[in-house]
């Protein structure tokens, strides 16, 4: 892929934007990283807080083995090095929602090392983005500033929840690439079941590192945009921030390394604080925790048990079902849509199934603001509808009508076809009768069609209309040719 298509034109020439992402992904687990308190989203404030999470004196952290397994599975899913020995460190800083006064994280020795993620771009190309590391760490609590005129509150439900911080290499060159990276990473996490990926609930959020440079020059100074919580906002934040940095540099200014916030309402980034360096946090190994040592057998067992991931599934859909790479990519982008498609396609024409799922079905869901989970039409029902087309019970055109009724009522397609009398007419005698009527009523057209055989299309249309769309189009064509002596 040429690097040049991503360049941004400034007043003084072209600029290249360089992007790296740090994604915080909440680990799916029943309990927190170092305590047995539950982790359900939306619970009443401060009810999921153990003495460990509240940092009461003398409390000791105990590692949650399930969170470790989830981190290893995620590492395997992004084809990364699994480090059999890793170390938890204290990252020291003060914040009211951080009762320990430090976050337990991993610094020098993360549980997962280098990996890579393949991202799919709009032009059909695939790009590899390097992953630098994945480490486990605790989340902080939540400060609440909008409930009282002069007081702030703190909710510690989130305090101590396990996060995976997944750090990419600065390999991305456009907002499209960064968005594709987050989409693919989210799909992998969801397939693995290691993070639910619900960005609107904050269980996945991205820190976006943005810098700009002249093509071919060394990396520029970067700014970090903190906690961006939607894929759309990630795109907007990058576009704004890259442009801002180019303007500063072209005016002869310098970029200050800092942390910035994206304000979605204003569509702009704002300075939050100057960027801390790692040494500001006084990292040191947590004396309450031994180094984390894994057995290779455990890693091997998790590897053997991994589900099929999006890239492999897409390749299989192309191979087994004969779908185009594009359609297969659309279907596997979410595990739930891939599963839905496979249920529809089982024992049926897979291309027809793919067209229906990605076309009418997704279209109807979009229009109604629904998802596969809340769809009134199940995979079984859509499969049955496709079965009715394939065995010539109904035509493709009537199927669209039936589908609309299914979507409104949730009824089975066979029931709708019977009740509404939509069964396709394959009885040649009945079709012949309609054809005779149309021919008798249109002598001028009959004369015309002898000169211009293409006019048979008009007759087909009339016969289909007269039959309420229920005549079998192939039989209509054949009988018409015969009757009109074409
Ligand atoms: Mn972090």
Helix (H) or strand (E) holding 297: helix 296-304
| Helix H or strand E encompassing 226 | strand 223-228
* pLDDT over 70, % of the chain: 99
Q: How far, in Å, is the centroid of ligand 1 from the Cα of 376?
A: 40
Could you tell me the pLDDT band of residue 1, with boundaries at 50, 70 and 90? Answer: very low
Using alpha carbons, select from 397, 396, 431, 394 the residue that is nearest to residue 416: 394
- Quote the ligand 1 centre to 70 CA distance (angstroms): 17
69 C-alpha vs ligand 1 centroid, how far in Å?
Answer: 19
Convert the pLDDT of each residue in 316-359 to its tens digit.
999 999 999 989 999 999 999 999 999 999 999 999 999 999 99
Q: What is the pLDDT of residue 304?
A: 98
Alpha-carbon span 352 to 435, nearest angstrom: 30
Average pLDDT over residues 371-394: 95
Distance in Å, CA 164 to ligand 1 centroid = 8
CA of 480 to the centre of ligand 1 (A): 72
Distance 24 CA to ligand 1 centre (A): 7
Q: For residues 4 and 344, which has the higher predicted lDDT (pLDDT)?
A: 344
- Whole-number Å distance, alpha carbon 153 to ligand 1 midpoint, is 23
Structural contact between residues 436 and 463, judged by C-beta atoms closer than 8 angstroms: no
Taking the C-alpha atoms of residue 172 and residue 60, their distance in angstroms, rounded to an integer, is: 41
Residue 75 has pLDDT above 60, yes or no: yes
Residue 246 alpha carbon to ligand 1 centre in Å: 28
Average pLDDT over residues 290-302: 98
Q: What gap in Å lies between CA 209 and CA 260, rounded to an integer?
A: 10
- Cα(163) to ligand 1 centroid in Å equals 8
User: CA–CA separation, 163 vs 157, rounded Å?
Assistant: 14
Instruction: Report pLDDT for 4.
Output: 65
- Domain ranges in the chain are 7-302, 308-420, 428-483
Q: How far is the CA of 137 from the centre of ligand 1 (A)?
A: 7
Model confidence at 269: pLDDT above 90: yes
Mean pLDDT of the chain: 93
CB 99 within 8 A of CB 305: no
Kindly state the average pLDDT of the residues 353-375.
96
CA distance 129 to 204: 19
Average pLDDT over residues 429-458: 88
Q: How far is CA 364 from CA 273, 333, 338, 408, in A?
A: 46, 18, 17, 10
CB contact set of 42 (below 8 Å; sequence gap of 6+): 201
Query: What's the confidence (pLDDT) of residue 2?
Result: 46
CA 164 → CA 71, 135, 366, 420, distances in Å?
7, 6, 32, 54
What's the gap in Å between 147 CA and the centre of ligand 1?
27
Q: In the CATH hierarchy, which fold is given to the domain comprising 428-483?
A: Arc Repressor Mutant, subunit A (1.10.10)
- CA of 210 relative to ligand 1 center, distance in Å: 17
pLDDT at 357: 97
Taking the centre of ligand 1 as the mean of its atom positions, its distance from the CA of residue 118, in whole angstroms, is 23
Among 199, 160, 158, CA closest to 43: 158
Q: Which DSSP letter does residue 173 get? A: -
Q: What is the DSSP string of 418-451?
A: HHTT---B--HHHHHHHHHHHHHH-HHHHHHHHH
Distance 56 CA to ligand 1 centre (A): 23
Could you tell me the distance, in angstroms and rounded to a whole number, from the CA of residue 165 to the centre of ligand 1? Answer: 6
CA of residue 139 to ligand 1 center, whole Å: 8
- Please give the distance, rounded to the nearest whole angstrom, from the Cα atom of residue 21 to the centre of ligand 1: 12
């Amino acid at each position: 892929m040429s690097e040049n298509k991503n360049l941004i034109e400034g007043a003084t020439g072209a600029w290249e934007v360089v992007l790296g992402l740090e994604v915080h992904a909440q680990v799916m687990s029943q309990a927190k990283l170092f305590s047995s308190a539950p982790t359900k989203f939306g619970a009443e404030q401060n009810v999921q807080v153990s003495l460990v999470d509240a940092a009461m004196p003398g409390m000791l952290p105990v590692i949650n083995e399930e969170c470790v397994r989830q981190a290893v599975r995620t590492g395997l899913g992004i084809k990364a090095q699994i480090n059999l020995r890793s170390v938890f460190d204290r990252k020291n800083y003060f914040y009211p929602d951080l009762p320990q006064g430090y976050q337990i994280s991993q610094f020098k020795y993360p549980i997962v090392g280098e990996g890579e993620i393949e991202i799919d771009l709009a032009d059909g190309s695939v790009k590899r983005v390097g992953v630098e590391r994945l480490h486990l760490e605790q989340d902080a609590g939540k400060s609440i500033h909008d409930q009282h005129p002069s007081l702030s509150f703190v909710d510690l439900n989130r305090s101590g929840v396990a996060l995976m911080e997944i750090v990419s290499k600065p390999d991305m060159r456009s907002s499209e690439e960064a968005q594709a990276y987050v989409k693919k990473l989210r799909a992998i996490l969801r397939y693995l079941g290691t993070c639910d990926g619900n960005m609107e609930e904050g269980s996945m959020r991205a820190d976006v590192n943005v810098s700009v440079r002249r093509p071919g020059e060394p990396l520029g100074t970067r700014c970090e945009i903190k906690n961006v919580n939607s894929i759309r906002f990630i795109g907007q934040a990058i576009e704004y921030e890259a442009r801002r940095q180019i303007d500063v540099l072209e005016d002869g200014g310098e970029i200050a390394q800092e942390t910035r916030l994206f304000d979605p309402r204003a569509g702009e980034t704002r300075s939050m604080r100057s960027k801390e360096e790692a040494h500001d946090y006084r990292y040191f190994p947590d004396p309450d925790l031994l180094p984390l040592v894994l057995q290779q057998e455990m890693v091997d067992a998790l590897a053997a048990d991994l589900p099929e991931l999006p890239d492999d599934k897409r390749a299989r859909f192309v191979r087994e079902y004969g779908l185009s790479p594009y359609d297969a990519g659309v279907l596997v982008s979410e595990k739930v849509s891939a599963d839905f498609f496979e249920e529809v396609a089982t024992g049926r024409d897979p291309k027809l199934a793919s067209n229906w799922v990605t076309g009418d079905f997704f279209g109807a869901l979009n229009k109604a603001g629904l998802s596969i989970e809340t769809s009134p039409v199940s995979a079984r029902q859509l499969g049955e509808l496709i079965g009715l087309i394939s065995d010539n019970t109904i035509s493709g055109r009537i199927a669209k009508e039936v589908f609309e009724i299914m979507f409104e009522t949730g009824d089975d397609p066979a029931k709708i076809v019977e009740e509404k009398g939509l069964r396709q007419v394959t009885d040649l005698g009945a079709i012949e009768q309609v054809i005779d009527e149309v021919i008798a009523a249109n002598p001028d057209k009959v004369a015309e069609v002898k000169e211009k055989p293409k006019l048979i299309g008009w007759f087909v249309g009339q016969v289909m209309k007269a039959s309420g769309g229920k005549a079998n189009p192939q039989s209509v064509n054949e009988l018409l040719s015969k009757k009109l002596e074409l």
